[in-house]
Structure 1
Amino acid sequence: MSDRINAIDHVMIHVPASQSAGAVFERLGFAVTPKSGMPGLSNRLVCFGDTPHQNGVCNYFELMALEDAQAAPSPMPRLLNGFGPVSTVMAVDDTWAVTERLQQGGMAIGPVLELQRDWALSDGTVITPAFSVAIPDLGQAPVYWNYCRHKTAHHYVRREFVTHPNTALAFDAVYAIVDDPDAAAAHYARTWQARVDGDRLVLPEGPAMHLMTAQTAKSVLPDDLMTTDRPGLKGLRVRVGDVAKARDVIEDGGIAAVDLPGGFAVRAADAAGCALLFGERHATDR
């Protein structure tokens, strides 16, 4: 075990209600897990199988709803005060070791939480994901992030979870708007121990995060894809096995596709506040 951060494990998207948000993503051609509860919170997930789960790294979207602000762990109620993508959640080897390293570097972080939950599936099976998570205080990062260690990562790659009608395989890029990309990159290079490659933050596994100003974001996320160009997480790129089939499935669900080089996109307004880009090749191959 080490104090290393391995990957962007998943992206938390705050939604008004997890059940209805899941229905939106089903219209987008994703398989969505059943609703599951945690103290004060509920979620549904969109999981992907192209990830090294054997190393404790998952790859999914988390559609998170605040059910009871009094019961939710701090500072989740303050984080979940606007809808759309609100956090990257990082996969780590050892939550305690990462917390010690970051606290020594001056970050304020709440206690490590050891959690598990019963997850009832549609066939009556009950599985029990277990994980440890740490939640830094708000206001310490250009774009908020927290981190976890999966103890049961195999639960997230069940065949029924990762087989998507739109042929999705993984999300392989995260797009964020920041005021000062150089200062933001320095933060992530220090805290994530990420490698900076142009506008990308690269980790040992998983998606890269792209840091953009509101102006440079227009080359990736045209204005009509975003609900706002204020700083924060703005979009994700989904790698699919068949871009034509993905588009057909999404349009059959009544959701408009926007042409982009090498693929297409779905507007943030049609995807819980998070613009989605779709393409067949890995983002780094474009």
Structure 2
Amino acid sequence: MGETAFVDIDHLMVSVADSEEAGVLFERMGFTATPRSQMPGLSNRLISFPQLRHGAANFIELMALDDAEKAIPLMPAILRPAGRPVSMVLSSADAEASARALRGRGYAAEGPVPIQRDWVLPSGETIRPSFAVVIPRPGQSPFYWNLCQYRTIEHYLRPDFTSRANGVSRMTAIIAVADDPEAVAAHYVDVWGAGRDDGRPIALRIGAVALRILTPDEAEAEFPGAALAGGGDRLVGFAVAHPQPADFAGRLRQSGFAPREAGGRTWLPPDQAAGCLMVVEAG
């Protein structure tokens, strides 16, 4: 679709009822959750990993709608109801070029909109994340997504944010379910200029992180009992890499979780991971 300047799938936004409690849940798994950050009507905590590609971060965002009347108008519609993945966020090397390329293909998108805010850490230190966002009009894509160009990416790459006690190295994929994965894949190949991996399930990528799209039957076969069938086309979770998934499964059991293991992978169903299927695969 021409030069989009897309770098990677940067992070997954998950709608949670309480951002503080959601962070505590992942801390029980051995992840590091960033201190709670507050914005008008919203709050979040991040599960951050080291950088995979220049210009992109790699994290899971646990976002809560705390006061719908104070939040950016689009956010309540995206975040309600809580307890599920709601948006993929792509990174861009040039938000203006990305927006221009999208609009050139008839894809409605606002921005780039510059954003800067203060994030006060528990130590008293204040950091000032700065970025520009491109906001597509909802309803144009099977799974919602938006775009970010970082001005101060170093704030998301701090060692105290990206350290992990559990040995997980990175987010490798966002996982989705669709009745017609081929049609969904064709959409993102066109809009993103995404490449496609060989094999099944369908895996698309513009960088290091894949978008995996399963049929309901494939989802049930790979993750039996995870209740991923039904509900239409939607994001359902994410995958992360660990050198020994079975070892991580043992850690989860010790922390009160009930992981399932199959095909050399460990996974948690959505009711144990803030509404997300969480897959731990070798890597």
Tell whether the 8 Å contact from 2:174 to 2:210 is kept in structure 1 after alignment: yes
Tell me the C-alpha RMSD between the 2 structures: 1.7
Which residue in 1 is equivalent to 2:152?
152
Change (3 A) 1:266 1:243: same
Letter in 1 for 2:256: G
Equivalence map 1:161-180=2 (5 Å): 161-180=161-180
Tell whether the 8 Å contact from 2:4 to 2:192 is kept in structure 1 after alignment: no
For the pair 1:274 / 2:273, whether they are aligned, the reply is no
Runs of 4+ in 1 over 3 A off after TM superposition: 226-229
Q: Which one of the candidate residues 242, 245, 248 is aligned to 1:243?
A: 245
Tell whether the 8 Å contact from 2:43 to 2:65 is kept in structure 1 after alignment: yes
Letter in 1 for 2:139: G
Give, in whole Å, the separation in 2 of the partners of 1:241 and 1:136.
Answer: 37
| SS in structure 1 at match of 2:109 | coil
Superposition deviation, residue 132 in structure 1? 0.8
Superposition deviation, residue 45 in structure 1? 0.1
Which residue in 2 is equivalent to 1:284?
none
| SS in structure 2 at match of 1:112 | strand
Give, in whole Å, the separation in 2 of the partners of 1:114 and 1:68.
Answer: 22
For the pair 1:196 / 2:199, whether they are aligned, the reply is no
In structure 2, the gaps of 5 or more residues are: none
Which residue in 2 is equivalent to 1:234?
236
Which residue in 2 is equivalent to 1:45?
46
| SS in structure 2 at match of 1:114 | strand
Superposition deviation, residue 263 in structure 1? 2.5
Change (3 A) 1:245 1:162: farther
Tell whether the 8 Å contact from 1:59 to 1:171 is kept in structure 2 after alignment: yes
Give, in whole Å, the separation in 1 of the partners of 2:161 and 2:96.
Answer: 30
Superposition deviation, residue 243 in structure 1? 2.7
**TM-score normalised to the size of structure 2?**
0.91
Change (3 A) 1:220 1:147: farther
In structure 1, the gaps of 5 or more residues are: 282-286
Change (3 A) 1:127 1:226: farther
For the pair 1:64 / 2:66, whether they are aligned, the reply is no
Change (3 A) 1:123 1:240: farther
Provide, for residues 81-125 of structure 1, a one-character-per-residue CA deviation record: whole Å limited to 9, x for no partner.
122101110011111221121122122223322112222223332
Superposition deviation, residue 71 in structure 1? 2.6
Which residue in 2 is equivalent to 1:80?
79
Count of paired positions: 276
Give, in whole Å, the separation in 2 of the partners of 1:244 and 1:260.
Answer: 10
| SS in structure 1 at match of 2:50 | coil
Superposition deviation, residue 50 in structure 1? 4.6
Provide, for residues 114-152 of structure 1, a one-character-per-residue CA deviation record: whole Å limited to 9, x for no partner.
112222223332221111112212111011111101111
Tell whether the 8 Å contact from 2:204 to 2:212 is kept in structure 1 after alignment: yes
Superposition deviation, residue 186 in structure 1? 1.4
| SS in structure 1 at match of 2:31 | coil
Give, in whole Å, the separation in 2 of the partners of 1:225 and 1:12.
Answer: 20
**TM-score normalised to the size of structure 1?**
0.91
Tell whether the 8 Å contact from 2:59 to 2:171 is kept in structure 1 after alignment: yes
Provide, for residues 64-93 of structure 1, a one-character-per-residue CA deviation record: whole Å limited to 9, x for no partner.
011222332232211111221011100111
Letter in 2 for 1:60: F
| SS in structure 2 at match of 1:225 | coil
Which residue in 2 is equivalent to 1:17?
18
Tell whether the 8 Å contact from 1:177 to 1:229 is kept in structure 2 after alignment: no
Change (3 A) 1:248 1:119: farther
Superposition deviation, residue 244 in structure 1? 4.1
| SS in structure 2 at match of 1:175 | strand
Give, in whole Å, the separation in 1 of the partners of 2:214 and 2:131.
Answer: 32
Tell whether the 8 Å contact from 1:226 to 1:269 is kept in structure 2 after alignment: no
Tell whether the 8 Å contact from 1:263 to 1:279 is kept in structure 2 after alignment: yes
